[in-house]
Chains A and B, each alone.
Chain A
């Protein structure tokens, strides 16, 4: 199993550009999440999904969109990049039902908006 795979690993965007951060998991997990982590800070939840076709906003959803057309994929879209979106983005997945199961994280995408 590859686990949770995120692409790209690094990206530099100009203000106003758009991009999609890809996330895929091969563990058949129902739950998937997108977090961002600013330097010296904890992770903040952007969006999450409890299954294909279902998405919900987290703590910091503004400026982002997501979709969940399949169980495996959960892409994060930035439409008009802003410097405030410079951060490290982590995708994660977890199984339904077992509260103490760990979340599986991808390696992260380091995004700089200039």
Chain B
């Protein structure tokens, strides 16, 4: 089983749609969780951290369920500029901040 698994996608949605991405992780000792965004042939960039109580940043909402080892990202009112690959990222316990990346889910927002 992969350490971090994501919906394979791709997701093709019209502008204005709401889209949700799911992610599961296998290491119950994982302590921090993130969503990164990666544009085509570019480096990953942090989209948002994911907190236990859930958190929102504008049109983006992230949720964490530690009992189920499940993370989600909801994008509301999607824009053309949201087209990218979304990477679920988990920080293993330990002192070196070793991040484990999911394979990513590709999103294309269509006009």
Q: Which residues of A contact B (CB under 8 A)?
A: 31, 33, 35, 40-45, 48, 50, 56, 58, 88, 90, 94, 99-100, 102-103, 105-108
The A contact surface, by secondary structure, is strand
Chain A interface: which of B14-22, B73-81, B101-109? B101-109
> CA separation between A36 and B100, bound complex, in Å?
12
With A42-B103, A107-B43 as known contacts, state yes or no: A31 contacts B87, CB within 8 Å: no
Residues of B within 8 A of A100 (CB): 32, 34, 49
Which residue of B32, B41, B95, B98 is within 8 Å of A58 (Cβ)?
B98
Cβ-defined contact, B43 with A106, below 8 A: yes
Q: Inside 8 A of A50's CB, which chain B residues have their CB?
A: 95-96
Q: How many Å lie between the Cα of A51 and that of B32 in the bound state?
A: 21
